[in-house]
Copies of this chain bind each other. A is one copy, B any other.
Amino acid sequence: MSAARAKPVPRRPIIGVVGASRPSAEEAALAEAVGRAVGRAGAILLCGGLGGVMEAACRGAKEAGGLMVGILPTEDAADANPFVDVPVATGIGEARNAIVARAPDALVAVGGGYGTLSEIALALKGGKRVVGLRAPEVEGILPARTAEEAVASALGAT
Q: Please give the count of copies of this chain that the complex contains.
A: 4
> Do B114 and A121 touch across chains, with their CB atoms under 8 A apart?
yes
Q: Is A124 part of the contact surface with B, judged by Cβ < 8 Å?
A: yes
Q: Is A89 part of the contact surface with B, judged by Cβ < 8 Å?
A: yes
Q: Which of A57-92 contact B (CB under 8 A)?
A: 59-60, 62-63, 67, 69, 71, 75, 77, 80, 82-92
Residues of B within 8 A of A131 (CB): none
Name the distance in Å between A88's Cβ and chain B's nearest Cβ: 5
Chain A 28-66 per-residue mask, 1 if CB under 8 angstroms from chain B, else 0: 000000000000000010100000000000011011000
Alpha-carbon distance between A90 and B126 when the two chains are bound, in angstroms = 12
Hey, which bits of chain A sit against chain B, CB under 8 A?
Answer: 4-6, 8, 11-12, 14, 44, 46, 59-60, 62-63, 67, 69, 71, 75, 77, 80, 82-99, 102-103, 105, 113-115, 117-118, 121-122, 124-126, 138, 140
24 contacts between A and B (CB under 8 A): A5-B59, A5-B63, A6-B59, A6-B62, A6-B83, A8-B82, A11-B84, A11-B85, A12-B85, A69-B69, A77-B105, A88-B88, A90-B99, A91-B98, A92-B93, A94-B98, A94-B125, A94-B126, A97-B98, A98-B98, A114-B124, A114-B140, A118-B121, A118-B122
